[in-house]
Structure 1
Amino acid sequence: MTYELTLEDHRAIDRTLGLAGHIVDRGELDRLGETFTSDAVYDLSDVGAGTFEGIEAIRNGALELGAGNPVAHHITNIVISSQEDDVVTAQSKGLILMANGSVASVTHLDTLRRGEGGWRISRRVILAQRTPLGGLHLTHAAER
């Protein structure tokens, strides 16, 4: 049965997505269960870091990456793009600050499930933003 998401659902989803960055940035990896399902898949293959399945693998991946992790994760522009029963998909923009001062932009493609603990991320795909306008300007220049 599909139902309309309530304002409380939207707030809870926003909170889950935002809290994920706070937990990682503070190194509180024992709290990953507050934002991810136990069987979550975290796909960082587009940025060369692989894919991790399950909270323990996500935690270990972050520990192995060590100083290569961003210093700060910022999430913005959250858009819920589809919904069916207790599952939603959302996309958002992310800014990451690295220890060397560089900043990168990414897109999060998230699937969230509602369970006993509320909304949790069950799948996250991180895509790096590498070109302006999604590369449209390159196509336009070739047409000239």
Structure 2
Amino acid sequence: MPITVADRLAIHELISLHGHLADDGRPEGITDLMTVDGAYDVTDYGLGVVTGIDALVDLFRAAPGAQPRGHHVTNVIVTDLPGSDDSATVRSKGLSVMPDGSAGTVGYEDEVVRTSDGWRISRRTVVRR
């Protein structure tokens, strides 16, 4: 059975959560975004693949490199995975506003799974645009 409309809404809200956590400076909130064994692939930014919730909290706390003041997500596309009602893929675009007023964009390629705590990202790849 494909994921439901309610699942899609929950996934859209999950994808939106990243910007709020980053902009509010709440790295501990990553547990509401990623699975415990989640992988965050920031290879395009020279940081490799960061895996596991503790390492992800550390990454978000350290905020290496030039960090945006504002993270915004748009163009969210949720795709069911055949044979599973507990996982999906998600593509979205991130827009950022830098401290100097310049703007940038990235692509997010996510694998999401249903957990006992709701939907979470199990793998995110950040693609430099």
How far did 1:85 drift?
3.2
Query: What's the TM-score, normalizing by structure 1?
Result: 0.81
Paired residues of 1:97 and 1:104 also in contact (CA < 8 A): yes
**Which residues of structure 1 form unaligned runs of 5+?**
130-144
- Aligned residue number for residue 120 of structure 1: 120
Query: What's the TM-score, normalizing by structure 2?
Result: 0.90
Distance in 2, matches of 1:8 and 1:39, equals 25
Q: Percent identity?
A: 35
Distance in 1, matches of 2:100 and 2:53, equals 28
Q: State how many pairs are aligned.
A: 127
Paired residues of 2:94 and 2:108 also in contact (CA < 8 A): yes
How far did 1:72 drift?
1.3
- Aligned residue number for residue 104 of structure 1: 104
Deviation string, structure 1 residues 50-91 (Cα, Å, up to 9, x no partner)? 321112111212232357322111111011134233111110
Query: Letter of the aligned partner of 1:59 in structure 2?
Result: V
Structure 1 segments (4+ residues) deviating >6 Å? none
Paired residues of 1:96 and 1:105 also in contact (CA < 8 A): yes
- Aligned residue number for residue 12 of structure 1: 10
From 17, 27, 35, the counterpart of 1:29:
27
1:1-144 equivalence runs, <5 A: 3-65=1-63, 68-83=66-81, 84-129=84-129
Query: Letter of the aligned partner of 1:100 in structure 2?
Result: D
Distance in 2, matches of 1:77 and 1:7, equals 17
Paired residues of 2:89 and 2:110 also in contact (CA < 8 A): yes
Query: Letter of the aligned partner of 1:53 in structure 2?
Result: T
Paired residues of 2:3 and 2:85 also in contact (CA < 8 A): no
- C-alpha root-mean-square deviation of aligned residues, in Å? 1.5
